Structure 1
Amino acid sequence: MLKKITHNLLFKVFIAIVLGVLIGLYTPESVNRIVNTFNAFFGEFLGFAIPLIILGLIMPAIADLGKGAGKLLLITAALAYGSTLFSGFSTYFVASGFFPSFIEPQNVQAIEETAIELTPYFSITIPPILDVMSALVLAFVIGLGLAPLGNSTLKNVTMDFQKIIMFLIEKVIIPLLPLYILSIFSAIAFKGQVASVLSVFVKIIGVIFIMHILLMVIQYIIAGAITKKNPFKALITMAPAYFTALGTQSSAATIPVTLQQAEKNGVSPKVANFVIPLGATIHLAGSTMKIVACAVALMLMQGMDFNFGMFAGFVMMLGIAMVAAPGVPGGAIMAAVGILQTMLGFDAEAQALMIALYIAMDSFGTAANITGDGAIALIVNRIVRDKKETSTS
């Protein structure tokens, strides 16, 4: 049990934040400069890796969506994307309306003006092969082109490249993220900003947890209205999948339980076996909620300008980009980092804070994702049943 806890990414991030704060507050500048040197190097490496991550994940993900179950695939994908857009836009309106009441950019700016400058001992520049937007466009062009080709040689190459990128994420980037977050928080603490940042973190996490619960209730009210089922009974039936996801932090690992509970809600095995695994890949309404809310919060903290038009494009792109999110803790935020940089202007420090905030809520975001899959399965099941009844009448 202890080993399981210590290997949990959320636990590692929590320890990293605590140690980072202690290092920043109680160790000399020389120690903080060593930590900041790692920060500078890893930040450069992450900037180099982001376009490769986009290519390696999005190309095969889009190529795979083009094969298989035809109309059923389109219906499920449309419902999943619609749910993700609803989550993103509703989150933007709630966050932009409510967060300014407890996030004051003037205070942060005042702290930054008096902050102590902290520089690394040395830095290495690692230019990315492509910029992020070029990687996004190239990934879409190749992915869409490969979709109708079947088992082509290039598609197999993209699948192999995906495995390389998955290995990079799982074995290099994710294990080093806690150290990167430690370096960010040591710098924040050393500069005297830690109290304001952590107080905002706690409030954001609390608000987003409540929003996740409301999102699931709305999803099942809509599904209940379409299928004529009791939405609260259906939601309670999905509770084992929700709590399994809280523990595993992985939609993919929760699929067997999600399948079982969806069938208990009356979804046919044929529909459940198609919709639930697909939903675990393409339906990320909970993750979208976290990213949009955290993005608004961090932009308010840093006094960055934003508007609905900016976030409308961001949310629509986010719903597509996160289709590529691998089934590992923190995978969704890694798939989203590129568009945070290009569309919202997040620098390296803002990206690191975003990753820390996201991982702090990873469990219940994943749980909201898979619970929402059950609602989509109910709707698809009703559509399929209605079509069968129409064709036989």
Structure 2
Amino acid sequence: MKKKVKIGLLPRVIIAILLGIFFGYFMPTPLARAFLTFNGIFSQFLGFMIPLIIIGLVTPAIADIGKGAGKLLLVTVIIAYVDTVVAGGLAYGTGLCLFPSMIASTGGAMPHIDKATELAPYFSINIPAMADVMSGLVFSFMLGLGIAYGGLTATKNIFNEFKYVIEKVIAKAIIPLLPLYIFGVFLNMAHNGQAQQILLVFSQIIIVILVLHVFILVYQFCIAGAIIRRNPFRLLWNMMPAYLTALGTSSSAATIPVTLEQTMKNGVGKEIAGFVVPLCATIHLSGSAMKITACALTICLLVGLPHDPALFIYFILMLSIIMVAAPGVPGGAIMAALAPLASILGFNSEAQALMIALYIAMDSFGTACNVTGDGAIALVVNKMFGKKER
């Protein structure tokens, strides 16, 4: 009897990405629409599950941590916020040095934005979430802290059973179907050539952003590796399935199951991982902050808007708070960022359209940076609060 060969998540995701790009250029439209129909349904299912995943994982994690949960929450939020602000500041400093000469070489003209035409699915099914991401987080914090401080054993048992159900859904439904979903995402991108005009005009800027994105991941894991005294590049490599999954889904929240699995493989305790990963999927946005700051500075230079350090520091500080409202869906960060872009930097509708087009063209890379960095934060928090081995 031949032994069944099991392909891991990482190679399955890589295969899905490559096949999606390859078939996207010549697959007949009717067949491509069939894959997009699946993607639409699966995306609705993910949207329905995301708040339940947060409630199912965060509530028991807080309850298991006990009365120290309040301190754990505060420390995690501070680390995530500081890292997000630092990433934005890094993008501003680098852009101030490099972008003026790059923009001058392109003529400094602001291109006209045309909305990309995408394939449409054959039909769609609406599966409304029972709560949004922020409501799920607040509910989890309130209930978990209540269980921890009140010693509510019966309630704790209920949510431990609910956690079991969520973990089974993740293992048996979400993880197996993610590669097919990622295939459909890249198939659609290759088929319609989304944002090609913007990518050509801003190719030099995008290269700088991608280099910064790699640099951020390296310094995050070098710091984490130094704190826990382990090889940072090995830790970073272990997070690659989460990185590639986020690259395909463009959603931090949708990548939670994979991020959680890879974080625990790096040695983070189950309780700490179950607390930090879903929380950081909402509040840790280093990649998004870096990308939005770099793109915003580019447009300020293009159209002659003010871009002095004091103004951008204020913008980055506010951006890092406001983006928390909507990171769970693809493109959610830039939609939340439109308010400070307009009120602080003075972006008009044309500048906002350019920001959206440029951001969406690279959305998945910022998301991948966000979720991979979550693993570094989890390592640090686990070192501070994790149960000591005896």
TM norm. shorter chain > 0.5: yes
DSSP-derived class of the 2:202 partner: helix
Where does the alignment leave 5 or more consecutive residues of structure 1 unmatched?
Answer: 10-63, 116-142, 152-184, 186-193
How far did 1:107 drift?
Answer: 4.0
Q: Over residues 269-313 of structure 1, what are the superposed CA-to-partner deviations in whole Å (9 max), with x where a residue is unaligned?
A: 010000000000100000001100000111111122211000000
Alignment of 1:85 onto 2:85: yes
Q: Is the 8 A contact 2:199 2:361 kept in 1?
A: no
Paired residues of 1:105 and 1:300 also in contact (CA < 8 A): no
Q: Give the helix-richer structure, 1 or 2.
A: 1
When residues 255 and 198 of structure 1 are mapped into structure 2, their CA distance, relative to the original with a 3 A threshold, is closer
In structure 2, the CA distance between the partners of 1:304 and 1:232, relative to structure 1 (3 Å rule), is same
The aligned counterpart of 1:263 is 264
Give the deviation of 1:108 after TM superposition. Answer: 3.8
Does structure 2 conserve the Cα–Cα contact (< 8 Å) formed by 1:276 and 1:373? yes
Any gaps of 5 or more consecutive residues in structure 2? 1-19, 21-31, 40-57, 63-68, 113-134, 144-194
2:245 counterpart residue number = 244
Taking the aligned partners of 1:75 and 1:268, their CA distance within structure 2 comes to 17
Q: Is the 1:105–1:301 contact (alpha carbons within 8 Å) kept by the matching residues of 2?
A: no
Q: SS state of the match for residue 346, structure 1?
A: coil
Q: Residues 313, 233 of structure 1: CA spacing in aligned structure 2 closer, same or farther, 3 A cutoff?
A: same
User: Aligned in 2, Cα 1:245/1:286: closer, same or farther, shift over 3 Å?
Assistant: same
Q: In structure 2, how many angstroms separate the alpha carbons of the residues matched to 1:313 and 1:81? A: 14
Task: Quote the Cα distance in structure 1 between the aligned partners of 2:199 and 2:239.
Answer: 33
SS, match of residue 103 in structure 2: coil
Contact 1:258 1:276 in 2 (8 A): yes
User: Counterparts in 2 of 1:229-378, with a 5 A limit?
Assistant: 229-378=230-379
- 1:353 maps to a residue whose letter is L
TM-score by length of 2: 0.61
In the TM superposition, residue 204 of structure 1 has moved relative to its aligned partner by: 1.7
1:243–1:367 contact (8 Å) kept in structure 2: yes
- 2:205 and 2:37 map into 1 onto residues whose CA distance is 25
- The residue type paired with residue 348 of structure 1 is S
SS of 1:328 mapped into structure 2? coil
Residue 357 of structure 1: how far off its partner (Å): 0.5
Structure 1 residues 353 and 335 mapped into 2: Cα distance closer, same or farther (>3 Å)? same
The correspondence of residues 105-254 of structure 1 with structure 2, limited to 5 A, is: 107-108=107-108, 199-254=200-255
3-state SS of paired residue (1:344): coil
Cα distance in 1 between the residues matched to 2:212 and 2:281: 20
Query: Aligned letter for 1:85?
Result: V
Partner of 1:55: none
CA contact (8 A) 2:199 2:206 kept: no
Displacement, 1:150?
5.9
Contact map agreement 1:105 1:302 (CA 8 A) in 2: no
Verify: 1:74 aligned to 2:74, yes or no.
Answer: yes
Shift in CA distance, 253/198, structure 1 to aligned 2, threshold 3 Å = closer
Q: CA deviation at 1:385?
A: 3.7
Q: Which runs of 4+ in 1 moved over 6 A?
A: none
Question: In structure 1, what residue type is equivalent to 2:300?
Answer: M
